[in-house]
Amino acid sequence: MSRVYARQMPRFVILLLTAALALVATLVTAPAAVAAMPTPVSAATARTYLGTLTVAAEGSTSGYSRDLFPHWITQSGTCNTREVVLKRDGTNVVQDAACAAVSGNWYSEYDGATTTTSSSFDIDHMVPLAEAWRSGASSWTTAQRQAFANDLTRPQLIAVSASSNRSKGDSDPAKWLPTRTAYQCTYVRAWVQVKYYYNLTVDSAEKTKLTSVLSGC
């Protein structure tokens, strides 16, 4: 019996070592987790969505106020929407008891800027609040506008450099696109997905630009 056990033992050890090596190889070769907003729909789906959007002249900003879109609401515990996005979009983010990000690393997809100071980054609304207002949100209820302004499910919120966010303002893609061209396809896919989900209109110049960018994706 002991001789049989002795013959089987090396095989058992080899199996254990093989499994351990396979696990190590998986950990080494696995892609690093990407800190980013929810992945937008594919270019093909975005083109389909775009074809269904109502084309209309952009509405007026008359009556618009950011206060009509309650934003940075509490999401969980002491964490508001901004703090959740900063945590999601950063790496090695450390938050204090009040959920404020006290350290971490952030990369701005719009312009390639990096920072270790969260206050130098803004949370951008992919489809700006004023743009949404001009595209149909002026007729929404406050609850609908709040949901839009704090949407963590769709690719509507992203942490980016303050300078790129200020450069964008409330412009649509006909007037502004990320200076980092490698991100433009992702950007317009996200833009179309958000407009489609919320049944917002596009103006003719906006649709032309979206169509052009998507054709190269």
* Residue 146 clears pLDDT 70, i.e. is over it: yes
* Residue 29 clears pLDDT 90, i.e. is over it: no
User: In which residue are the tokens 């980054």 written?
Assistant: 121
Q: What is the rounded distance in angstroms from the CA atom of residue 198 to the CA atom of residue 49? A: 12
* Residue 32 clears pLDDT 50, i.e. is over it: no
Q: What is the pLDDT of residue 36?
A: 84
Q: What is the pLDDT of residue 149?
A: 98
Domain boundaries, the chain: 1-30, 33-215
Q: What is the rounded distance in angstroms from the CA atom of residue 46 to the CA atom of residue 55? A: 15
Contacts of 110 (CB under 8 A, 6+ apart): 124, 160, 161, 164, 165, 168, 178, 179, 180, 183, 187
Q: Which amino acid is at 46?
A: A
Please tell me whether the overall predicted TM-score, pTM, comes out greater than 0.75 for this model. yes
Mean pLDDT of 193-205: 98
> In the chain, how many H helices and how many E strands?
8, 7
| pLDDT above 90 as % of the chain | 83
- Give the three-state DSSP class for 39: coil
